[in-house]
Structure formats: structure tokens, C-alpha cells
A and B are shown apart, each in its own frame.
Chain A
Amino acid sequence: MHADACAPAPGAAQTCRAASPAIEEAHCPVVRHAWVNRECRHLVLAAPDPFLAATPGQFFHLRCPATSEARAFLRRPMSLYSLDRSRGQVEFLYKVTGAGTRALASLERGDVVNVLGPLGTGFNLHKVGGHALLLGRGTGVATLNHLAECLRERHVRVTAVLSARTREGLVSEDRLAGRGVQTLCVTDEDGSSDMVRLGETLRKLHDQAPFSFVATCGSQRMIRLLQSLEGLRDLAGQAAIEQPMACALGMCWACVHPVRQAAGTSAIRYERVCVEGPVFDLARLPT
């Protein structure tokens, strides 16, 4: 659990660095690759041991194969959907959108993908106990799935609120339910994902069984909701952020995101999503 011991409090990155584990560039055979709905694919790769030390919120950098119709020069960062230590597998869930993911979508069982990782600073789970609320939108739910699985292993009570445009676009609901996560789905098509209604829903859930921790991924509006919602805004919360990335090793400084220097201050600085992130404290994200 060395990577976990490294889950940094803000400003603790320095002390972690010396003990930072190796970053592996590995050729991973595709074990399974299937559509989960019209837009998203589930990719399972055979992984070397160093990959299996990845913690929730960390990510891998995948080299996209060149195909006749899609080619991506840079790698694509992808957060972990799940991890199976006994089988030696890492899993990803991604939406097919641009050239990179279209190229990835062409991978077939037995093909080999060049993968770099594990990378980044994941969720800080030091003080997580009680009742955790995970709020995900679209494929942001993928990142929260691995977090949910780890929390359930620690017997933490987890409620996951999953949001998508349509019922069909919801991912991971069954998988989460299978792990004993209480799931609630909201969509744009029935209006339940609307921020006002979602806020009421969250407050009701909080009244029934108060949350002690919140995590979100996939929506800027959800970040703002969690930052503003009475009752929830004072909880320890973390958000996984996405940003176009080049090296993913903290060298190029392309993937920066504005964050507060410390919670409660107004001074903003750029931090690297690939090193200081992709997970940031909600209190440090500017509204």
C-alpha cells in the first residue's frame, strides 16, 4: 500500500517524492474489450505488477494504435475503472469521442497496448469512513467505480448518484449495486439531473443518512453544486479533474488547472493535473 501511504495532503508532495514508485511503460495484451452502450467501451488489459499498485483516482497513459481512419500523436490519459490484483488486470471504461478513443476502440482481444503508469495523485482516503457520497456524470462514473470498490473493501457505506443524458448512457450501475453500493440514477431526459432537483435529492439523502465524505467526477456543475449545497459544502470532498495532457509525467506543464493555493484563500495558481491531480480537494477548486 505504499502508494496509499503517499496519498498527499496538500503540500505533502515533497515528502512523497523520494518514496515514489517506479513508473512502468508496459505492453499490455487486451483481455476483453466490449461496448457497454452505444458510446462507451470497457477495456480489460493484462497488467504487470507495478500497475496493480494503482490507487483510486490514479490514471494510466495509453498509446493509441494507428488505424486507417484514426490516429493520435499523443497518448490518452485514462483513469482506472477497476483493478483485479488476483487476475493481474486493469480495467478502463471510456467514451468513444475523438481520434484517440476511436483508435483505441479498434483494439481487439489479443492486441497489445503500450501503457504508462500508474500516474498522478488519486483520492486521499486517510480519513474516509462513515458514509460516502459519490456523484458522477457520464464516464466520470468510471473513476468513481474504482473508488467505490476500494471503499466497500473497507466496509465504508457508499451511496452513488449516477447522472447521464439518457437512461441508456448510464454506466456501472449494476456493477456498483453488486458491490453493495446504494445507487441512484438521474438523467437529463426525465429532468432528474437538473441541478436544482439534484440538490434537493442530495440534501434528502444527507438528511436520511448523513454523509461524511463526498467525491465527484465528470461535471463542473456538480463540483459547484457540492461546493454550494448547505449541509454538504462543509464536508471533506474531492473531485477528479480532466484536462488535455501531453507527457503525464509533470514535465511539459500542459495539463494545468487553476486551483486555490489553500482552501479558503483567493490566491489562484496553476497546478498539474497529471502530478498534483487529477484529484483535488473540492475546497481548492475555484467556483
Chain B
Amino acid sequence: MTDLSVSIGSLHLDNPVMPASGTFGEAMARAIDINRLGAIVTKTITEEAREGNPPPRVAEFADATLFSIGIPGKGVGHYLDTQVPFYRAFRPPLVASVSADTVEGFARLARALSIPGVAAIEANVSCPNLRKHGLAFGMDAQATHDVVRAMSAATSLPVWAKLTPNVGDIAEIACAAEAGGAQALVVANALLGMAVDTATFLPRVGSVTGGLTGPATRPILLRMAHQCVEAVSIPVIGCGGISTAQDALEYLLVGARAVQVGTASFVSPRAMLDVLEGLETFCGERGIRRLQDIVGGMKHHPRFQ
């Protein structure tokens, strides 16, 4: 029997497989046994209710999707009243993803969510910073640092920072989040992209640009996870294009301790369990007693001088 458990900072997980924020909902409990997941990560919430972006909100590619959703939701009050009690009935720790357009907003959310039933808070720093002319917090090392620091001061719960991949030097942002007090990094959010319908001349998503996700993005996000692992000493959670155990293993081998499965759950709600079962099978076949033993186990090709 393989030990799949992993510690992410102060949080202990039975296994390293969890949903990526925005790809999970209560209906998942009707489709699969969500008690088997390592953690539950909910859709990003904001302080106030939001309607989100105008449709169309999704465009499809051979191996990827472009989403432009715009963080619709009913606000933190609704989350505390309905979502937290709902997920309290399940075993995996609940990780609440939050977003705000000011540093203070992030801190207020962290404070509001510091209640029994919430195990960690994930900061979605991919949203625009009102005070920086809409530049995403996550594109700016100082802003990322400030968000994480303010949240960590406002709560005793672990704070995870979910980085945006839309930066030149992700290691710099990773270090800023670590310095701000993040207990873990999630690497990473969706890649900014766009597409145009050549029949109608219209952009294929309503807000013109959106976030590219899915298997096609994995090599890019894996590279970023690798760079972050090299740069920080806190745990990195890999996220980007994972739909099979092999995909998850790639992230573990470059040093990620856990993985988030996102778009794959839209193709099959069983995707997370498939990844989990695949990891167990892999360890069984290889005689690996602790999955964490292979974290960072990537080898290097010999070089001829």
C-alpha cells in the first residue's frame, strides 16, 4: 500500500490530487466520491456578488479551451452561508480561493474566511489591481508580496498564492509570494490568449481575451512549476494541463508536491480520480512506498564536455 499523503505547509493531505479553482462545484459530489480527493478547492469568491463576463465564455481548440468567465459569484456572505456548510460534510480539507481588486480586499476576505471548516486560503492574484491601472497583482512582484503579507496578517490559516503565468520571470513573483508569507504556491493560472472567428469577424469569447487551459498548455506550465521549485523552499502545487497520472507525475518529478486538475474535469468528472488511481498503480508497479519520495526526482541527460 503506497503512502500518498503529503504536507503542504501546515496542512496535511491524504493524497496530492485536488481540483483547480473554478473547475469544481457541488454537482461534483453527485458525479464522484469527492471524499477521495486530497483537498477541495472552490471557485474564486469575491467580497461582492459579480455577474461575470458577457457570453460567449468558452472557445474550444484541439487540446485546449479558452475561457473568459470573469469570476461570477454571489459574494463571500453566500459562500460562508452555503458552501462552507456543504463541504464541511466531506472529509477533504476545504481550500477557499479568493480574489479582490485591492490589497485590503484580499485581507478582509482572509479574515472573513477564518472560520472552522476552511483549512487554507488560496489567493487568486490574476485579477486586475485597481490601484495599478488594472495590471494584475500577480504580474507585479511587489503587489503579489503585499497581497500575501496582508492576508497572512489577517488570518492564522495557511495562505497559498496561485500565480499567473503571464509574466516574464515567474521565479521573481514566486520569491515575492514566499517572502510575503505564503505557505505554498500554485503554479499556475491560465495563459492569456485570444481567438477570432473568421466567419463572423468576432472574437471567440465575449471579453476578447481569455485564459487558455487544457493539455496543450502543460509544457509551459510545467516549465514554470520547475522554475518556481528551483527558486523557493515552500511547497509548489503543479497546475496546468493535467488529465492523467503521467501528467501529474511530470509535475511531481520536477518538484511539485501536489497537483491541481482543472479543465480535465470538464471532459470527465472522473479525471481527478483517474489521476489518483493512476498514481497508485504507478507506485505499485515501481515498488514506490511513499509517493513523496519521487518528488523532484527528475534526472538529467549526461553532458559530453
Contact = CB atoms under 8 A, between A and B. Distances in A.
B58 interface: yes
B1 interface: no
Nearest to A248: B266
A246 B65 contact: yes
A104 B56 CA distance: 23
B266 A251 contact: yes
A73 B65 contact: yes
A191 interface: no
Nearest to A256: B55
Interface in B34-64: 43, 51-52, 55-58, 60-64
B58 A244 contact: yes
A75 interface: yes
Interface stretch (A20-28, A143-151, A158-166, A277-285): A20-28
A252 B267 contact: no
B60 A73 contact: yes
Interface residues of A, number: 32
Contacts of B27: 20, 23, 249-251, 275
A74 B69 contact: no
Nearest to B26: A17
18 contacts: A22-B30, A23-B269, A63-B268, A73-B60, A73-B65, A74-B58, A74-B60, A116-B268, A116-B269, A249-B25, A250-B25, A250-B26, A251-B24, A251-B28, A252-B266, A254-B55, A254-B58, A270-B55
Interface of A: 17, 20-25, 63, 71-75, 114, 116, 243-247, 249-257, 269-270, 275
Instruction: Give me the 10 closest cross-chain CB pairs, A-B, nearest first.
Output: A251-B25, A254-B58, A249-B27, A247-B266, A254-B57, A23-B31, A246-B266, A23-B30, A246-B58, A253-B69
Given A75-B267, A114-B268, A249-B269, 17 more contacts: A17-B26, A21-B30, A23-B269, A25-B268, A63-B267, A73-B62, A73-B65, A74-B58, A74-B60, A74-B267, A246-B266, A247-B269, A249-B25, A254-B69, A255-B58, A256-B52, A270-B55
